[in-house]
Structure 1
Amino acid sequence: MSKYIFADTFFLEGEVEGPGFLELKDGKFGDFSKNRPEVGAEIIDYAGHWIAPGLVDTHIHGFRNYDIMDIDFEGLNGISEGLLSCGVTSFLPTTLTSSTEILNNVIKMIGTHYTQVRGAKIKGIFLEGPFFTEKHRGAQNAKYFSDPSIELLKVWQKLSNDSIKKIAIAPERNGAAEFIEYAVGEKIAVALAHSEATYKKAKQAVENGASIFVHTFNGMSPLHHREPGMAGAAMNLKDVFAEIICDGHHVHPAAANILMNARGRDQTVMVTDCMMAGGMPEGNYQLGEFPVEVKAGAARIEGGSLAGSILQLKDAVKNVVDWGIATPEEAIYMASMAPAKSIGLDGECGKIAEGYAADFIVLNPDLDLIATHLNGVCRYHLRKEGVQ
């Protein structure tokens, strides 16, 4: 049986329409029409509101006091359910650099249980490390850094039940070219991060198949007019995606605007890099093995380096519009379709289109999240303050 969503504005694939009626049938999107459906049809009334695709977070370490590295399914499910309050309906649980034994166990836990989570859908795993270099290590533990290993990746992909969708490396490490070519051949998106690579080295990695720059400007060699570095590569190379954390702490709004103008808003991916303190009060937390203090909206390890964020993806959307550097349509795209495209999953999530799972969010005209629907069912509503 079909039911219909009525709202003022719909952010559909490639266009904004409304007011109108969006059909939901068997948990999937049907047709959109400006005409009222037949008499007697069930209509869910969101008059005065906007309907957008469920957001897709392709880089997130934790939420609501749970960390992916805890190797605990209940924690993984807690993150999944909590993300509905952020407007996120699909995500990649993201690991940190750690020992091979711990990474084996984390990857096996996610690979065994990822289809069992009850909230936002896990679309695969993002391995952030351990193939990095030290200068821009951030909150990654340098004692576990190593050169890329195809054999390790084979082990991890087997443990994950073939669910690894993205892996980050420093392109200057020995064996990077062969590793990138192998991973891309296995349909794993290769991202570049925590690196002091030159522009030339980053360009070579992209020519070998790397396609994503991780949290651009952070954890990478900066732009200089005589050596553009990783940051310059993220802005200038063709046919790549650039992640960015729009919390106002990681990147100045003007720098975010420069990236979006250079890269294009269709190839800019808003991520949170959120750690376990997301959705929690200020105080002391952990990011992997590092103690973290959350204060004044930022998470930092001892010494002051940023340690992920406490950003919620719905707030990144609102921030870039409030900063005047993106339209609502562009902001929503950068947090839904662009991330899905960056990992090759635009065929199953990130947009409102016929036949796709009816994962969508309801916003007011100020871009505040009102509700999150998963498979056509309302699972979070602001007035009810939680997951239903």
Structure 2
Amino acid sequence: MTFYIKADRYLLESQEVFNQYIEVVDGRFGSFADTVPPNAEVVDWTGYTIAPGLFDTHIHGINGYDIMDGTKDAAKKISEAILPLGVTRYLPTTLTSSKADLDKAIATVAEAVREGLPGAQSEGIFLEGPYFTEKHKGAQNPQYFCDPDLREFQHWQELSGGTIVKIALAPERDGALEFIRRVSEEDVLVSLAHTDASYDCCCAAVDVGARDFVHLFNGMSGLHHRDPGVAGAALTNSRAFAELICDGYHVHPDIAVLASRVKDDKLVLITDCMRAGLMPDGHYHLGEFPVVMQQDGVARTEAGSLAGSTLKLIDGVANLHRWSDKPLYEIWHRASLSPAKSLGRETEMGSIARGKLADYVVLDDELVVQATAVAGEMKYRKV
């Protein structure tokens, strides 16, 4: 099937294009054109901007659902809920829990994906834990922390049907470096998180295959000029991506801008959203922990720690765009192309380019999503 999109503006990787048509062939982008053939099908978005679909590589839940619910319905409802927010791809994200609960969550997500997700599409499972250390535990349950176990991971990978694509761990745990080397060889993205590792330990982890740091400045030792710590390793290592929650609470806006300048296209915007996203203030759970969401959508555990976020990824983009002096197309791709690059998927998705999947978002001048398409199919349209 072939059709054309007409719009006032397109956000590309390194520029904006104005007043053009773009061809979509069998769910993939074709070429830009000034005119279209006679009788061609045209989807007219005159007055609007077309941007690539967003890719949330770290999301636990939203709208009352959580991946750790261990139900197919949760994965499907999350898929639906993020579509009107401009997200076309996501990684269903677990958190530290009992082996039985992780088994159930992994198996049910895999089954839901096989049956077909109604909205945004899963690009694989992200295991956040359980191989963490307690000092920077955040809302992860230390009762289940343990050393990396390759046989345990392989068991989970079998349950998932080979769809675990990312795992977060603390590199200072016993056996972590060998574990990182082995799973990295299987094309699993290893992220460093909830860790008090030294700068040198983090660098050693990158040397053996780790290529990502989860929620920069949160769940890790901070930056000091004589002790760079985990945050320093994330900022200075050009081989590694760094994920950032741009809600203004997890990281100060000026530090978010600094991170953006330092990491450039290796900065990945994420939400770390939990079930309270899109919900009213009140009492919720993140895994086994009760959390309270109060004014401004900030969720905290009873001990006062931030408990994930309720951020919409498109709001993270808008925030960093507002805080920085960078053009929208550049910041937008930190939430679409950079995530795809971190997983080695950049030839398939993440930007509007010939041959890539036609995942796109229609935006008005206020960055309100008017429509979202996945592989060329319109999945959401604002009434």
**TM-score, L = length of structure 1:** 0.96
2:63 corresponds to: 64
Tell me which amino acid in the other structure corresponds to 1:5. I
* 1:38-187 to 2 correspondences below 5 Å: 38-115=37-114, 116-187=116-187
1:88-135 Cα shifts (integer Å, max 9, x gaps): 000000000001111111111122221311110000000000000000
Q: Contact 2:14 / 2:330 at 8 angstroms: preserved in 1?
A: no
Matched, 1:214 2:181: no
User: 2:16 — aligned with what?
Assistant: 16
CA contact (8 A) 2:24 2:30 kept: yes
2:76–2:112: 8 Å Cα contact kept in structure 1?
A: no
1:348 deviation in Å?
A: 2.1
Contact kept, 8 Å, 2:13 with 2:333, in 1: the verdict is no
What corresponds to 2:31 in structure 1? 31
For the Cα contact (< 8 Å) 2:68–2:95, is it kept in 1? yes
Displacement after TM superposition at 1:356 (Å): 2.3
Q: Using the alignment, how far apart are the partners of 2:71 and 2:326 within structure 1?
A: 38
CA distance in 1, matches of 2:239, 2:18: 32
User: Is the 8 Å Cα contact of residues 27 and 357 (structure 2) preserved in structure 1?
Assistant: yes
Contact 1:318 1:368 in 2 (8 A): no
Alignment gaps of 5+ in structure 2: none
Task: Please identify, of 181-190 and 320-329, the stretch whose mean Cα deviation from structure 2 is larger.
Answer: 320-329
RMSD of aligned Cα (Å): 1.2
Per-residue CA deviation, residues 327-347 of structure 1 (Å, 9 max, x unaligned), is 201111100000011111223
Q: 5 Å matches for 1:198-209?
A: 198-209=198-209
Corresponding letter in the other structure for 2:268: V
Give secondary structure in 1 for the equivalent of 2:49. Answer: strand
2:12 and 2:253 map into 1 onto residues whose CA distance is 27
Unaligned runs of 5+ in 1: none
Q: Which residue of 2 aligns with 1:324?
A: 324
Q: Which residue of 2 aligns with 1:234?
A: 234
Task: Tell me, yes or no, if the aligned pair for 2:13 and 2:330 is still in contact at 8 Å.
Answer: no
Report the Cα distance in structure 2 between the residues aligned to 1:217 and 1:327, rounded to whole angstroms: 25
Q: 1:325 to 1:285 in 2, by over 3 A?
A: farther
Deviates more, 1:349-358 or 1:311-320: 349-358
TM-score, length-normalised on structure 2?
A: 0.97
- Code of the aligned partner of 1:319: N
User: Deviation of residue 280 (structure 1)?
Assistant: 1.2
Matched-pair contact (CA < 8 Å) for 2:133–2:195: yes
User: Does the alignment pair 1:373 with 2:373?
Assistant: yes
Q: Deviations over 1:299-350 (max 9, x none)?
A: 1110211000000111111111122353201111100000011111223221
| Letter paired with 2:336 | S
Matched residues in 2 for 1:256 and 1:289: separation?
30
- Which secondary structure does the structure 2 equivalent of 1:18 belong to? strand
Q: For residue 13 of structure 1, report the CA deviation from its aligned partner.
A: 4.2
Preserved CA contact (<8 Å) 2:133 2:170:
yes
SS of the residue 1:210 aligns to: coil
The question of whether the paired residues in 1 share the 8 Å contact of 2:13 and 2:329 is answered with no
Contact 2:257 2:323 (8 Å CA) reproduced: no
Name the aligned partner's letter for residue 228 of structure 1. P
The aligned length equals 381
Q: 2-side partners of 1:197 and 1:2: how far apart?
A: 52
